[in-house]
Structure 1
Amino acid sequence: MSSVLTVRGGVPLAGRISVRGAKNLVPKAMVAALLGNSPSVLRNVPEIKDVEVVTSLLQLHGVSVVKDADTGDLTLDPQHATTASSSEIDAHAGDSRIPILLCGPLIHAIGEAFIPDLGGCKIGDRPIDFHLNVLRQFGAVVEKRPGGIHISAPRGLQGAKISLPYPSVGATEQVLLSATRAEGITELIGAAVEPEIIDLIAVLQKMGAIINVQSERTIRIEGVKSLGGYVHRALPDRNEAASWASAALVTRGDIFVQGAAQRDMMTFINTFRKIGGGMDIEEDGIRFYHPGGKLSPLVLETDVHPGFMTDWQQPLVVALSQADGVSIVHETVYENRFGFTEALSRMGANIQVHRECLGSTPCRFGQRNFRHSAVISGPAPLRGTEIDVPDLRGGFSHLIAALAATGTSRVTGIDVINRGYERFTDKLAALGADVDLSTSSGV
């Protein structure tokens, strides 16, 4: 059985919703609890699929995960960590890539780790080579086995000097989670410095880690013999907040996003204003709204932090389809992230994708035959259609296009959206969307 969302478009979204802890931090903070010798408490935890997956994986490895029924806070106790069977890991991981981040903590805790063959959103090549190379540099032995990869460290993990060819968020997380209890000093050059990375460093520092964030994307970690637990409130999800902001523009609506934090969204806020979006920044959140009149086109490039996030790009492309003129978007982080535009074109959007770098500087995808630039002409009236969700952010983007379209859309595969958007159907209802959720046998 799969879920089907029927969307009757043309209704401006208006009202108040809230965002909680960031999808790009909370699962990683949960994994970090494995490094401690006492329980940890994580607050502001959203009810999303990735949290369920990590909860199951930790429990398989003997970690107690208890959820407070009133607050939703998680207490994670790693004191009885143990080995899990490969078949159980594979069954619970599904298409999540989180298991690769358990490797360093599991090696510190029990001496070995196993990760199944990994899935994930089909938005580009997310090779685990970065992760495996990082672990090898720490002295880990990586062995390919049926169904996955076994990783061990007979002498324990050793500090290393690591240089990343690209500031990968996942590889930076791998280094942080592996280096904190490795013997000696680790220097990471070319690190990602996203707010979620800094929040993970704050978690590890609370546990007793010694981590210095230096200039030029360099992070220095002095390994310690043991770590304790932490008590931490996760930073809010800036990606979800930006998605609802784009939804307000696309539907000509007015949405107050409680929990949205200006400090982590400054680049998005600048872009939102350039398009012509209205906003009121308050202490407890941000009001995003369409002020009336025409939206302005723009030229945009995605980039690693502090640039314009790739996760902000897809919902914003839907908004740009309603701008008055020609916009150009150059995607430099994931090479196949414009696959979602095919459904938008069927809905009436005027979007052309190109292999060339249509940005200020050539990027690493320019000579590799990837359609990673888009030209969007608007405004283009959208009409309802049949949509199958391709990935997390693309799926939400299709959803807000359907909400703005004339007529009815049937959206399948929406379970993917649950990976990163907490109770999104409830939030749509609270904002006045005309939607119905049903189940289908798929026959």
Structure 2
Amino acid sequence: MLPTRDLIHIFKATTRRNEAISQRKRGQESALEVRVTNDVLKVHGGAPLHGEITVRGAKNLVSKAMVAALLGDTPSRLAEVPRIRDVEVVRGLLELHGVKVIEEGNGLVFDPANVGTAEIDEINVHAGSSRIPILFCGPLLHRLGHAFIPDLGGCHIGDRPIDFHLAALRQFGAIVDKTPQGLHLTAPNGLHGTKFELPYPSVGATEQVLLTAVRAEGVTELRNAAVEPEIIDLICILQKMGAIIKVHTDRVIEIEGVTKLRGYNHRPIPDRLEAASWACAALATQGDITVKGARQVDMMTFLNVFTSVGGAFEVNDSPTDGGIRFWHPGSELRAVALETDVHPGFMTDWQQPLVVALTQARGLSIVHETVYERRFGYTDALNTMGATIQVYRDCLGGTPCRFGRRNFKHSAVIAGPSKLHAADLVIPDLRGGFSHLIAALAAEGTSHVFGVNLINRGYEDFDAKLAALGAHAERA
């Protein structure tokens, strides 16, 4: 990390150079006009958020659990399924492949008795906005002997290549043919256990190996695996289905393949990403928000940082109505230095909403992003609202980083406190979009947030939750 004295000098110089750019951006209304749709939220900011909301099953687990239902010979039941876009996408893809999906209270039932081949055009229509289809490969190869994967969508926050996925599938014995429509996979000799080491502990690639190895012949050893809580919960689901999976130390997972699996009955872990987003909203607006369903064990790293910044929290461990209360205690917030990392590090999806709160902290905060190389694009909009944030190509931290010397602006310095003012905002991606929403709620005046339906990918009923917290916001 650069010495603090040099960092302050560079920061001030860059700030002066970018002031003119920021002024011009405030006048670029024509760029927003092309995005004006009914998908607009009018936010009257400047008031604290107070109240109670509930989080349900984790977005990053629920969709994968739905895919896992393909592997069973009997129906699976998944409770507390959030009503979000990713769930709709996966449900549509499952139904295209013959899985019967039934709503049951707050959950879903999946009957895979009649799994079959889906039309390529229909798959493309359903999968355009999601990266989940790549995880269908293993289950479909086991059930049908072939699979088709379209071009993948998702948030544009980095390259997020599928090379790890394809390399693993090939080692299992899959043959991958690339066509203009997408990827066609076959396994003429079946899938067999293998030894595979990930170059990086990718969550998606770890899920791919798990969903493929459980019914592959023989034993699979995965090294440098991701071990996020959502991964462990997926392992719990697969174990309920009859899989034999051992989680060793040092990111090693061993899977003993079985010939058949049954359905599962599972209640997923709550969404720790959404819980942290609302916690940051409480901090940025000087509010007080209780997030029912949030669990301390899933958020320990976040809670440490939240406390370091100056936030306060209280845990309710009740099994029926437990959760975590987050609030701004009224004292001045403090600047921090942090780095994102794979679990048990500070989640990359936590940094975007936290940065909004850090604009209200006194001093220079430093955030080094080591997971996604293009995750600071959302800060341009915050600067137009009055924040002072500079992004750098340097690795402003001590964690080994894949992006050093690769010309990616993956470190940020935030100077505060800054008085935020209203602006017209265009949502760039899921977490960045929620950060823009938090900024609009914290800012003085009325903001127009364009593209808010993208937030539905990961935040259930956010309009209703805003209303429950006393936010002054309505669809424009």
TM-score of the superposed pair, with normalisation by structure 2? 0.91
What CA distance in whole angstroms lies between the structure 1 residues aligned with 2:210 and 2:400? 30
Answer yes or no: is 1:243 the counterpart of 2:277. Answer: yes
Residue in 1 that maps onto 2:342: 304
Which amino acid in structure 2 is aligned with residue 77 of structure 1? D
Quote the RMSD (CA, aligned, Å).
0.7
Q: What residue in structure 1 maps to residue 395 of structure 2?
A: 357
2:286 matched residue in structure 1: 252
Alignment match, 1:223: 257
- Given the alignment, which residue of 1, 4, 7 partners 2:43? 7
Looking at structure 1, the residues matched to 225 and 331 of structure 2 have their Cα atoms a distance apart, in angstroms, of 42
- Percent identity of equivalent pairs: 67
Are positions 1:395 and 2:433 aligned together?
A: yes
Alignment of 1:122-201 (within 5 A): 122-201=156-235
Q: 1:41 corresponds to which residue?
A: 77
Secondary structure of the structure 2 residue equivalent to 1:204? helix
After superposition, give the CA deviation of every residue in 1:412-440 in whole Å (9 maximum; x if it has no partner): 111110000000011000100000113xx
Question: Secondary structure, in 3 states, of the residue corresponding to 1:165?
Answer: coil
SS of aligned partner of 1:337: coil
1:155 aligns to what SS in structure 2? coil
User: Partners in 2 of 1:184 and 1:221 — Cα distance?
Assistant: 9
> Which of 59, 62, 70 is residue 26 of structure 1 equivalent to?
62
Encode CA deviations 1:365-389: one digit per residue, 9 max, x unaligned. Answer: 0111000000000000001101010
Distance 1:387 1:411 in 2: 5
Aligned partner of 1:145: which letter?
A: T
Give the residue type in structure 2 aligned to 1:334: Y
Cα distance in 2 for partners of 1:279, 1:163 equals 39
Counterpart CA distance in 2 for 1:125 and 1:378 is 31
- Structure 1, unaligned stretches of length 5 or more? 439-443
The count of aligned residue pairs is 436
Aligned counterparts of 1:224 and 1:195: Cα–Cα separation in 2: 24
Kept in 1, the 8 Å contact 2:127–2:153? The answer is no
CA drift of 1:94 comes to: 1.9
Match of 1:375 among 413, 429, 432: 413
Instruction: Please give the alpha-carbon distance, in whole angstroms, between the structure 1 residues aligned to 2:141 and 2:106.
Output: 29
Report the counterpart of residue 109 of structure 1 in structure 2.
Answer: 143
Q: State yes or no: 1:429 paired with 2:463.
A: no
- The Cα shift of 1:226 comes to 0.2
| TM-score w.r.t. length of structure 1 | 0.98
Q: Aligned-pair distance for 1:361?
A: 3.5
Describe the shift of the 1:398–1:81 C-alpha distance in structure 2 as closer, same or farther (beyond 3 A): same
Tell me, in whole angstroms, the C-alpha distance in 2 between the residues paired with 1:193 and 1:406: 41
CA apart distance, 1:362:
4.2
Q: Which amino acid aligns with 2:188?
A: P
Q: Deviations over 1:12-54 (max 9, x none)?
A: 1000000000000000000000000000000011110000000
Structure 2: how far apart are the matches of 1:45 and 1:269? 25
Q: In structure 1, what is the equivalent of residue 363 of structure 2?
A: 325
The match for 2:313 is 279
Aligned pair partner of 1:419 in 452, 457, 460: 457
Residue in structure 1 matching 2:266, options 210, 214, 232? 232
- Which letter maps to 2:443? A
C-alpha separation between the residues in 1 aligned to 2:323 and 2:442? 24
Alpha carbons 2:277, 2:350 under 8 Å: kept: yes
SS of equivalent to 1:245:
helix
Find the residue that maps to 1:183 and give its secondary structure: coil
Structure 2 match to 1:441: none
| Residue 204, structure 1, aligned to residue 204, structure 2 | no
| Amino acid of the structure 1 residue aligned with 2:355 | V
Secondary structure of 1:196's aligned partner? helix
> Partner residue of 2:125?
91
1:142-186 per-residue CA deviation (whole Å, 9 max, x = no partner) reads 001221000110011110000000000000000000000000000
Task: Output one character per residue of 1:116-146: Cα deviation in whole Å (capped at 9) or x when no partner.
Answer: 1111101111101111111001000000122
Distance 1:368 1:147 in 2: 31
Consecutive unaligned residues of structure 2, counting only runs of 5 or more, are: 1-36
Higher mean C-alpha deviation, range 356-365 or range 321-330: 356-365
| Displacement over 3 Å in runs of 4+ | none
Matched-pair contact (CA < 8 Å) for 2:339–2:399:
no
